Amino acid sequence: MSATHHIDIAADRGGYSMPLEMVQRGVLWLLIASSWLVFIEPSPYEFMFLLTLLIYLAHGMTVTRTMVPFIVFLLLYNVGGALSLVPVSGDSKAVMFMVTSFYMAVMAMFFAFVCAKSPMKTMAVIRNAYILTAVVAALSGLLGYFDVAGTSAIFAPDARAQAAFKDPNVFST
């Protein structure tokens, strides 16, 4: 017998039950698909990451022995960075850099843990969402660059395609 977790939605009233894995993959897909929209900070991606992290944490994530060096080095890097802030604690850019570094480390560990359980299925979800988000970002950049329906002010200010990113250099990478 398998111990498949289900999320019951009004099951006592004739509702339905959805496998937890399906919910997790759906939220992961939405997380990646929302990554094209970063006009503002924090972007919708950051909020989706928190939701996705909570859903995955509520039911556990896989940590393998091979991930230990990765986790240790990320922790050492961030602890070293935090210690280096002591003499410049008043510098808001330095503090923001370390906050961002810590956030990126948490995200890196999250994706490693999520992909460890069933890498092929998880990477298929991530790939499909990235394809969609790349197409949406590219189309919005092109629409703005060619000023289709007056979109240049939003998607290509200064005559450079930037789509829904704050910086055209981010869009180009």
For 126-145, give the DSSP string.
Answer: HHHHHHHHHHHHHHHHHHHH
Alpha-carbon torsion 157, 160, 163, 169, what sign? Answer: negative
- Judged by phi (left if over 0) then psi (alpha if -120 to 50, else beta), residue 86 lies in alpha
pLDDT for res 139: 93
- H or E element: which one contains 18? strand 16-19
Question: Tens of pLDDT along the chain (173 residues)?
Answer: 445 565 655 455 666 677 889 999 999 999 999 999 888 888 899 999 999 999 999 988 989 999 999 999 999 999 999 999 999 989 999 999 999 999 999 999 999 999 998 999 999 999 999 999 999 998 998 999 999 999 898 888 888 888 888 777 666 65
pLDDT for res 2: 47
- Is the CB of residue 19 less than 8 Å from the CB of residue 50? no
Domain segments of the chain: what residues? 20-60+118-173, 62-117
**Distance from C-alpha of 45 to C-alpha of 40, rounded to nearest angstrom:** 10
CA distances from 48 to 12, 62, 90 (A): 30, 20, 31
Predicted TM-score (pTM) of this structure: 0.83
What does 90-158 look like in DSSP terms, one character per residue? T-HHHHHHHHHHHHHHHHHHHHHHHHHHSHHHHHHHHHHHHHHHHHHHHHHHHHHHTTGGG-HHHH-GG
**How many beta carbons lie within 10 A of that of residue 166, not counting itself?**
13
pLDDT for res 1: 44
pLDDT for res 11: 52
